[in-house]
Amino acid sequence: PTESSLSLSVHSFASACTSIARTICHHLTDTKPKLILYEHTDFNGLFVVLQEQELNLLAKSFDNAASSLAVYGCPWKACTTPGCASDGENELEIFEEGCYSNLGNFSDLISAVVPLKQVLDDPRISVFTDTSLQGRNLTVKREVNLKYSDINNMASSHIVNSGVWVLSSNEHNNGFKMLAVVGTEFDYSQYGHRNFNDRVSYICPLSQGKPKVVNVSLNCEASSFNSSVELLNELVVTNKSPLEQLLSVTHDLKTELSVEEWFRFGEYTVLQVGTSFHMSISMFYDNFLLSLGVEMRQELVQGLWVEKGVTERRTRTVGRLVQFNVAVPTNKTVKALIRLEERRFDVPTLLTIQHGCQLIQEAATFTCIDRTYINVEYEMLD
């Protein structure tokens, strides 16, 4: 344990499967899932950082010591007895991602902690009024107060199709608790040394912490290239003098030229609006960078912050003077054609995302659109 203090956000979080208040943690820089236990309230005093289960906090010299805590990533189960052996009233709490500045009646009671690493997406549970999945049943996919149903304090068995659920004997996740995972609990009367039969009054699905991008891998070698050409302007010059004339022309191009970077997420991404990450020049292969124009390379050197739903695209207008010299014979007309080539590179991208205690990967696309390539062609007219 070490001395430390922690600043926290004053903004409240969404409801969680515990009656203990939580807030958003804004200080997070490390994306690894973990639990931090603090000796005093408001994240003060000695603390211990845990990334794996600890069934006896005596081993960490932190038994019955925590009065506040912070969770990153997946939820954690905290118990008042070593090995989480007890299932008595108020002897089990589940903490999802967030900062808990005051554990209240649960202060100085935690003796064991276990991370819940199961997949929590699309939770679904069915509870039955009789054992062995018989009798009336109710299927839910969200937090439910059973006092508003017709089976309050009547459940005797359940089956979990997906997710992890907290079943409580009292409203708002209070009282005796049962942790329900994928599988079947056929007979609540056999649940530990306490009879849980006909006592379930509240059901709450656990949720993962906010997904975070931990790595961005660009497959530049597999990038696709497309180009198109458009005519920006044409200048016609006639030499009516008896001598050949050298024509020097300067043309100012601004609004037609630009460089653009564009990041496209997969259609079914787990990332939420506001999730951000940084892309740096080191992610690109040298050969790929050499295929880009000067302005585009300069943009990538500066790096790019991507924030889903906010800044997925960046465009910069480039100004340029186009100068050309052409010899116009006597009594001839020359037409100068100023053309712009647009070059587009689509780079397959693999995002590694920390989603709770799981690392998942998603495909995405990074696109560079370079509209800075100017070419001047000449036509001799009769």
Q: What is the pLDDT of residues 316-360, one digit of tens each?
A: 888 777 777 888 888 888 888 888 899 999 999 999 999 888 899
Hey, is 146 helix, strand or coil? helix
Same domain, 234 and 372: yes
Structure tokens at 248: 């020097």
- Host domain of residue 12: 2-115
Model pLDDT, residue 10: 39
Model pLDDT, residue 3: 47
Same domain, 236 and 373: yes
Same domain, 71 and 181: no
Same domain, 231 and 197: no
For the cut 90, the answer to whether the pLDDT of residue 146 exceeds it is yes
State the Cα–Cα distance between residues 165 and 163, nearest whole angstrom: 7
State the Cα–Cα distance between residues 308 and 210, nearest whole angstrom: 13
Instruction: Give whole-number Cα distances, 209 to 34, 116, 262, 274, 336, in Å.
Output: 11, 12, 27, 14, 60
Structure tokens at 252: 């100012």
State the Cα–Cα distance between residues 210 and 225, nearest whole angstrom: 35
Same domain, 216 and 201: no
Residue 187 neighbours by CB distance under 10 Å: 14
C-alpha Rg value of the chain to the nearest Å: 32
By mean pLDDT, which of 97-111, 135-149, 188-202 is the weakest? 188-202
Structure tokens at 379: 């036509």
For the cut 50, the answer to whether the pLDDT of residue 5 exceeds it is no
Residue 116 neighbours by CB distance under 10 Å: 20
Same domain, 251 and 201: no
Same domain, 56 and 180: no
Q: What is the pLDDT of residues 10-22, one digit of tens each?
A: 344 556 788 899 9
Q: Which amino acid is at 7?
A: S
Write the CATH number for 354: 2.170.15.10
Hey, is 171 helix, strand or coil? helix
Structure tokens at 303: 């790096």
> What number is the average pLDDT over the span 307-316?
86
Q: What is the mean pLDDT of the chain?
A: 86
> What number is the average pLDDT over the span 92-115?
94
Same domain, 195 and 75: no
Strand-pairing partners, residue 231, are 339
Listed residues 115, 150, 180: the one ending a domain: 115
Q: What is the pLDDT of residues 150-166, one digit of tens each?
A: 999 999 999 999 999 99
Share of the chain above pLDDT 70, in %: 92
**Of 72, 141, 84, 140, residue with least CA distance to 114:** 84
By mean pLDDT, which of 96-105, 145-154, 322-331, 358-367 is the weakest? 322-331
- Which has more confidence, 91 or 143? 143
Q: What is the pLDDT of residues 214-246, one digit of tens each?
A: 999 999 989 999 999 998 888 888 888 888 888
**Of 26, 22, 70, 28, residue with least CA distance to 49:** 70
Alpha helices (H) along the chain: 286-290, 294-301
Alpha helices (H) along 32-84: none
Q: Which amino acid is at 314?
A: R
Same domain, 253 and 292: yes
Which residues lie below 8 Å from residue 190, measured CB to CB, with a gap of 6+?
none
Model pLDDT, residue 106: 94
Q: What is the pTM of this model?
A: 0.77
Same domain, 86 and 158: no
Q: Which amino acid is at 290?
A: L
> What number is the average pLDDT over the span 121-138?
92
Share of the chain above pLDDT 90, in %: 43
| 358 within 8 A of 117, measured Cβ to Cβ | yes
Same domain, 226 and 361: yes
- Which has more confidence, 38 or 250? 38
Listed residues 205, 237, 262: the one ending a domain: 205
Write the CATH number for 193: 2.60.20.10
DSSP H or E stretch at residue 158: strand 157-162
Q: Which amino acid is at 242?
A: P
Model pLDDT, residue 9: 41
Q: Count structural domains, the chain.
A: 3
Instruction: Give whole-number Cα distances, 49 to 29, 248, 264, in Å.
Output: 15, 71, 36
Range ranked top by mean pLDDT from 63-77, 254-268, 273-287: 63-77
Same domain, 359 and 220: yes
Q: How would you list the strands of the sheet with 76-79, edge to edge?
A: 92-95, 76-79, 112-115
| 122 within 8 A of 163, measured Cβ to Cβ | yes
Identify the band that residue 282 occupies on the pLDDT scale cut at 50, 70 and 90.
confident
Listed residues 65, 82, 115: the one ending a domain: 115
Structure tokens at 191: 């649940």
- Which has more confidence, 256 or 378? 378
Hey, is 298 helix, strand or coil? helix
